[in-house]
Homo-oligomer: A and B are copies of this chain.
């Protein structure tokens, strides 16, 4: 019997690392997001080195709320407008700004795949394996990881480059994500694995 070694083509997905979610005091600040910037940057620099595609997936909401989720709609309209295009809060944090040739995908929902062109592009580029990081674990990271598996991608979640409101929430999500067969590993473990 022949043994076939599948060589995946890789892509990195960095999710929702925008000022409104990351900076201390921001309206939708996620605890731990700011502290994950250096780990994400390490991963980003690795992808720039190996010249594989990087997707900066960001959330945007139109200012009239017409594309906001139902559970966030009331607070968005009444008091808390976040990630509106053109505002500083919507921008990707300075240290993770997309470089030329890197892709930006805009989403309105949790999963980076839901009603976006992401899957079209991954297919076109021949990508079969994706690494996911960013914020936050229970929502966009998890929804994207689950959809990626459902679409047939080989998925890795980079746990120290991903954040959540508390360590307890992060750990509970890592347990669930690992239980469907997605490795959750550190940046260093990931880079080491890639270089074998």
Which positions in A face B, CB cutoff 8 Å? 62, 64-68, 70, 73, 101, 103, 108-109, 115-117, 119-121, 124-125
Contacts and interface: CB of A to CB of B under 8 A. Distances in A.
Contacts of A64: 101
Contact of A120 (B103, B115, B121): B115
B115 A66 contact: no
A109 B73 CA distance: 29
Q: Which 4 A-B pairs have CB atoms at the shortest separation, nearest pair first? A: A66-B121, A108-B117, A67-B117, A66-B124
Given A73-B124, A115-B120, 12 more contacts: A62-B103, A62-B121, A64-B101, A65-B124, A66-B121, A66-B125, A67-B121, A67-B124, A68-B124, A70-B124, A108-B117, A115-B116
Contacts of A73: 124
Mostly helix, strand, loop or mixed at chain A's interface?
A: loop
- Oligomeric state, in number of copies? 2
Contacts of A109: 120
A121 B117 CA distance: 17
Nearest to A62: B103
- Residue among A62, A73, A117 facing the most chain B CB atoms (10 A cut-off): A117
A194 B45 CA distance: 57
A64 B53 CA distance: 12
A124 B121 CA distance: 28
Contacts of A108: 117, 120
A93 B73 CA distance: 33
Contact of A115 (B68, B103, B117, B125): B117
Contacts of A101: 64
A75 to B, nearest CB: 15
A187 to B, nearest CB: 26
A158 B62 CA distance: 28
Contacts of A115: 115-117, 119-120
